[in-house]
Structure 1
Amino acid sequence: MTRRIGIVIFPGFQALDLAVGTVFELANDAMGMPAYAIEIVSERGGLIASSFGAAVDSRPFGAADFDTLFICGTSAVFEDSPGLVAFVRHAAAVSRRVAAICTGAFVAAEAGLLDGRRATTHWAKARELQRRFPAVRVEEDRIFIEDRGVWTSAGMTACIDLALAIVEADLGPDVARDIARRMVMYHLRTGGQSQYSAMLEMRPSSDRIQRALAFARENLRLELTVERLAEAASLSPRQFSRAFRAETGQSPAKAIETLRVEAARRLIEEGRLPNDAIARETGFADPDRMRRAFLRTIGQPPQAVRRSARSAAAA
């Protein structure tokens, strides 16, 4: 069976969102058959300019009975056209799934698809989405969310995570992992994972400090002393400590704690391991140390994160 994938574009759409097409292209290759057929559509058809000016050909809106309809986002929220909103509303009634990428959630909300549903969007636009559409249950710090056949995702590269999750639902986890490897992705991000990244927030500028942080993230179970991190960076401990604080604005000890909390939070949200196992896996040694680090870093204990993840999964 070939599933029809519709991708809705409009003037100024974010070109990166078309990466979802690559996910389904590679799914076809992995399966050795046309598991998906991709169609790019727009209100009037023809060439549509993306956010950086490159134009993409499209066919005009017509039959909307797709297996999955993707709504692209934009770099800034734009005024939805009545024709676009009407098409999305109709497509939701006759298609199996609708997926809104980034600010595409505003189009879905305008069409009434998100009323009473959990949804997410780019972190920078989440509160505006909630303000404009109070009937939507916006969760601003999620990679993607599925609620009763309607999927929404964060911005930019989160569209790839969303498409991979849809492939996994259709064809299984082995196919999704194979596609992620082909796309040279570091790992498959779950929908419940935070949009926030401690590694990006630190913004180290030199290769040596980046190398030390990468070593730390891959070896959180070890005792990550300044001496060990300095060795990974090929610096003396004194040089390393001085350079690390200058480039990240924090001490190595604080940075390692933040990385451990981020990793532990992800494992808690996945829900497969108890807290004592997660504490060992992420280098906290025991749950009490992990609890204190959570309170310092994110202001809530691991139990609260677990309850929130369970509530979201139940919803």
Structure 2
Amino acid sequence: MSINPMSCNPERTELAQAQPRSVVFVAYPRMGLLDLTGAQSVFWVATRSLNERGLPGYALHTASLDGGPIQTGEGLVVETRRLDEWVDRPIDTLIVPGSAHIRQVMADSAPLMDWLRIASAIARRTTSVCSGSFLLARAGLLDGLRVATHWAMADLFERLFPQVELDRGAIFVRQDSVWTSAGVSAGIDLALALIEADDGRELAMQVARRLVVHYRRPDNQEQWSPLLQSQYPANT
């Protein structure tokens, strides 16, 4: 599929000689690997396509509080930079992955909450994948907003953050500059939606095609679909 650069976002085409937009992925011990890499792959493929057309694309950064190696929940180690490198630098998009151990992560990460508050004020948009929404909520960044998170963590989220409106079924939710998504692979849907918002539907469709994934499921599609439910025994 070919793309006419003029069909992309007009703001983007006017910035053909500008610097890439900075996307900062926030890493921490025992985060979900696919929460991180699913969205990263979308931005990486989009950047390749944009670069082919003389557009700057995205600069992808994975950063943690102290920098250095971070072990994911699946055991793979990811190399990171220090988050404080971005205190005085522009952030276009901030992406916070989730974790199956989110309660312990929240208990151990007060400094991370402080950084998220600062970074969110700097960033053009703040986003989360899966239970990354817990970290944004703990930092006070979701008060009064409608959000998404992993369906299996919905009860816990509502108990901990009654001031936040949880949409239990949504794949992803956009509330002005804050975007949140459901579990794991929904981070890919979220990233495709971000690409579409920046660069147009045609590019987002091409990225989905190259990654061999569906072009963005609707944001109001249920996470736990009737078709999926029908595949499970009645006593599951």
Asked if Structure 1 and Structure 2 have the same fold, meaning a TM-score greater than 0.5 normalized by the shorter chain, the answer is yes
Cα deviation for residue 200 of structure 1 reads 2.4
In the alignment, which residue of structure 1 is the partner of 2:32?
14
Task: Work out the CA distance in 2 between the residues paired with 1:186 and 1:177.
Answer: 9
Cα deviation for residue 114 of structure 1 reads 0.3
| Among 61, 66, 74, the residue aligned to 2:99 | 74
In the alignment, which residue of structure 1 is the partner of 2:67?
45
- Deviation above 4 Å: which 4+ runs of structure 1? none
**Structure possessing the higher radius of gyration over alpha carbons:** 1
In the alignment, which residue of structure 1 is the partner of 2:129?
101
The one-letter code matched in structure 2 to 1:145 is V
**C-alpha contact 2:91 2:124 (8 A) present in aligned 1:** yes
Task: Work out the CA distance in 2 between the residues paired with 1:186 and 1:198.
Answer: 18
Cα deviation for residue 163 of structure 1 reads 0.3
| Among 71, 77, 83, the residue aligned to 1:61 | 83
Paired residues for 1:208-219 under 5 Å: none
Query: Structure 2 unaligned runs (5+)?
Result: 1-17
Paired residues for 1:78-157 under 5 Å: 78-80=104-106, 81-157=109-185
In the alignment, which residue of structure 1 is the partner of 2:45?
26
CA RMSD, 1 decimal: 1.4
Structure number with the higher strand fraction is: 2
The one-letter code matched in structure 2 to 1:47 is P
| Among 151, 169, 173, the residue aligned to 2:197 | 169
Task: Work out the CA distance in 2 between the residues paired with 1:166 and 1:47.
Answer: 28
The one-letter code matched in structure 2 to 1:29 is R
Query: Structure 1 unaligned runs (5+)?
Result: 205-247, 250-315
Q: Does 1:189 align with 2:217?
A: yes
Task: Work out the CA distance in 2 between the residues paired with 1:186 and 1:98.
Answer: 24
> What percentage of residue pairs aligned between the two structures are identical?
38
How many residue pairs match? The answer is: 206
Q: What is the TM-score when the length of structure 2 is the normalising length?
A: 0.83
Cα deviation for residue 21 of structure 1 reads 0.8
Q: Does 1:5 align with 2:23?
A: yes
Task: Work out the CA distance in 2 between the residues paired with 1:184 and 1:197.
Answer: 21
Cα deviation for residue 19 of structure 1 reads 1.3
Task: Work out the CA distance in 1 between the residues paired with 2:231 and 2:101.
Answer: 25
**C-alpha contact 2:204 2:215 (8 A) present in aligned 1:** no
Paired residues for 1:244-255 under 5 Å: none
Q: What is the TM-score when the length of structure 1 is the normalising length?
A: 0.63
The one-letter code matched in structure 2 to 1:44 is D
The one-letter code matched in structure 1 to 2:105 is E
Task: Work out the CA distance in 1 between the residues paired with 2:190 and 2:229.
Answer: 23
Secondary structure in structure 2 of the residue aligned to 1:188? coil
**C-alpha contact 1:123 1:154 (8 A) present in aligned 2:** yes
